Amino acid sequence: MLYESVIGLEIHIQLNTKSKMFCSCSNDIWKKPPNSLVCPTCLGLPGALPVPNKEAIKKVQLLGLALNCTLNKNSHFARKNYFYPDLPKGYQITQFSDALCEKGRLETSFGEVAIRRIHLEEDTGKSMYTKDETLLDFNKSGVPLAELVTEPNITSAAQAVEFCKKIRELARLLGVSNADMEKGNIRLELNISLRKEGEKALPNYRVEIKNINSFKFLKNAVAYETKRQEELLKAGKEVLQETRGWSESGKKTVSQRKKEMENDYRYFPEPDIPPLEFDEKYVGMLKQELSQVLFYKDKNISEASFEKSKITKEKITYSMNDENELSKLVKEVIAENPAPVSDYRMGKENALQFLIGCVMKKTKGQSNPKMVLDIIKSLLE
């Protein structure tokens, strides 16, 4: 009997904002002295008031838009109640229903992977274990964290790694995270179960694997867990629904929590933070920002293909950031495109993107889209 793995991923991405999620402490925590970047809010002291970081919210929404998600116009934060030494206030501020982004997708070499949601939450502190002590560092407490959850559309370790690499690349391209796995900027969890090859229905159990901090761990964890579950099923046994952790030193997954002991987090709306509302104008602005970033991406891709085809750089005749030269080109584009120009004057912001695109084309992606945007606006107003 042949089995196929059914895998869903949860990717935690630390956002590279200036300050933390709900306070003004610096978010640049790497290698800083323990407990040097803390305040009453990120320590969770009673009475401290969390204020959401708009930059973090925007970064999650940009990521969501790039992954074809729907952005919820109304969203809110929730409390997830549990106690852990590195979460001394007894709850984590996260999102439960109406996450910032829902129902996206990403094209891969093995087909489309559906994205269930991307929500925003605060990271916890860090516990370090010595021989006879546990040390706590709260610098990481309150770092903004995007959590991206996929549908179980993945069937192998290679596919899981490809998907995660694409997300890492996108996070870097959009500038939402440094996405450095060695610094813990991206952490993975997965759920995995097996079904007989050819079956379509989802298996009636799933095993969650936590503590995966590298692509190597991800590959090893999927290989180990597939084999463990396959042996149980072949012996006619049931696979228990549970949470397991990956132990890289032992090269195996270890049971952490059985289903019967599943935590009841008792989520409820965070009473200290008003609900979030986003209007059309705001979402339009985000879309415009995203399309500008994607211009840069096109530029990088075309430069790479120039190199491959050994066309020398001299063929790109201008390095276009001279304002006079750019103005000349913008005037040409305006003269050549009367319809989009009048659309823009009637208030259609999309037409502006088209005009910027035309200028970028003329300069072979060598000009600064922000400069182009400013010149077009000044010439049309």
Least distance (Å) between residue 61 CB and Zn ion: 23
Please say which residue, 49 or 254, places its beta carbon nearer to Zn ion.
49
Q: Is 286 among the residues that bind Zn ion (CB under 5 A)?
A: no
Q: Which amino acid is at 56?
A: A
**Residue bearing tokens 């491959």:** 308
Please say which residue, 45 or 128, places its beta carbon nearer to Zn ion.
45
Least distance (Å) between residue 333 CB and Zn ion: 48
Site for Zn ion in 36-75 (CB under 5 A): 39, 41-42
Least distance (Å) between residue 21 CB and Zn ion: 9
CB distance 274 to 77 below 8 Å: no
Least distance (Å) between residue 22 CB and Zn ion: 8
Binds Zn ion (CB under 5 A): choice among 6, 7, 11, 25: 25
Distance of CA 333 to the CA centre of its chain: 36
8-16, 19-27, 82-90, 229-237 -> range binding Zn ion (CB under 5 A): 19-27
CB distance 84 to 138 below 8 Å: no
CA-based R_g, the chain, Å: 24
Q: Is 143 among the residues that bind Zn ion (CB under 5 A)?
A: no
Least distance (Å) between residue 180 CB and Zn ion: 22
Please say which residue, 44 or 104, places its beta carbon nearer to Zn ion.
44
DSSP 205: -
Burial 109-135, CB ≥16 within 10 A → b, else e: eeeebebbbbbbbbbbbbeeeeeeeee
| DSSP per-residue letters across 266-323 | --EE-TTSPPEE--HHHHHHHHHHHHHHHHHHHHHHHHHHHHHTT--GGGS------H
What is the distance in angstroms between the CA of the first residue and the CA of the last residue of the chain? 70
Please say which residue, 41 or 220, places its beta carbon nearer to Zn ion.
41
Least distance (Å) between residue 37 CB and Zn ion: 7
Please say which residue, 123 or 208, places its beta carbon nearer to Zn ion.
123
Please say which residue, 55 or 343, places its beta carbon nearer to Zn ion.
55
Q: Is 29 among the residues that bind Zn ion (CB under 5 A)?
A: no
Q: Which residues bind Zn ion (CB under 5 A)?
A: 23, 25, 39, 41-42
